Amino acid sequence: MTEVAGGAFSLGSEYSSADAVNLRPMETRRRWEPFRSRRGAVAGTLIAVISAGVYMAWLGWDQEYQVDPATGALSGPYETWQVVGVVACLGLVAFVAGLLGLRTVCRVALPAAFALCFSIDGITDPNSDGLWGVGAAMTFGGAWVGANLVGIATERLRRPAARA
């Protein structure tokens, strides 16, 4: 038992009291290794540039809102086909990154670059209502979840099936 700030906890049999300073397992440290390599840095930069390009190609040019003639409801500025195109392209980027074993790099670079483009677009829009920050947070979260789901699924495909 080791005494810590008014309470005691057990380090378990695989740890000594000297390990109390650093309880992070080795696997957690290995997760960040791709960022320390040249391959990871190049891949992260490439994923960020591609993500920014996807934003500009599908969404960056459209600034007009649509008015439904029947109801008068205002929607936009993006159409459904644009969002489907973005999701397909970013999904492909995450899939290729997963195949190359770069899921960790992708799950940081892809949503960060995409949300940054969204933020710049929202900040510089003269008709902005000031809610671009909320949209940027939702964009980052959605891109992060999507990149992770595709990356995890791709890694599962890469691993050989365990034989019983």
pLDDT tens figures, 1-10:
445 555 554 4
Look up residue 72 and give its two tokens: 């008068």
Question: Is position 48 within any domain?
Answer: yes
pLDDT tens figures, 113-137:
999 999 999 898 887 788 889 999 9
Question: Is position 16 within any domain?
Answer: no
Please, how many CA atoms are within 13 Å of residue 32, restricted to the half-sphere of its CB?
Answer: 5
- pLDDT of the residue at 45: 94
Question: Is position 66 within any domain?
Answer: yes
- pLDDT of the residue at 58: 95
> Which runs of consecutive H residues, i.e. helices, occur in 56-131?
80-99, 103-124
pTM equals 0.72
Total tally of structural domains belonging to the chain: 1
pLDDT tens figures, 135-148:
999 999 999 999 99
- pLDDT of the residue at 114: 96
Question: Is position 130 within any domain?
Answer: yes
Question: Is position 67 within any domain?
Answer: yes
pLDDT reading at 16 higher than 80: no
- pLDDT of the residue at 68: 84
Question: Is position 17 within any domain?
Answer: no
- pLDDT of the residue at 85: 97
pLDDT reading at 108 higher than 80: yes
Question: Is position 136 within any domain?
Answer: yes
Question: Is position 22 within any domain?
Answer: no
- pLDDT of the residue at 64: 82
32-36, 46-50, 56-60, 126-130: least confident range: 32-36
Would the CA dihedral through 144, 150, 153, 155 be positive or negative?
negative
Residue type, 65: Y
Which residue segment(s) compose the domain that 126 sits in? 33-158
- pLDDT of the residue at 27: 52
Burial 55-79 (b: 16+ CB within 10 A, else e): beebbeeeeeeeeeeeeeeeeeebe
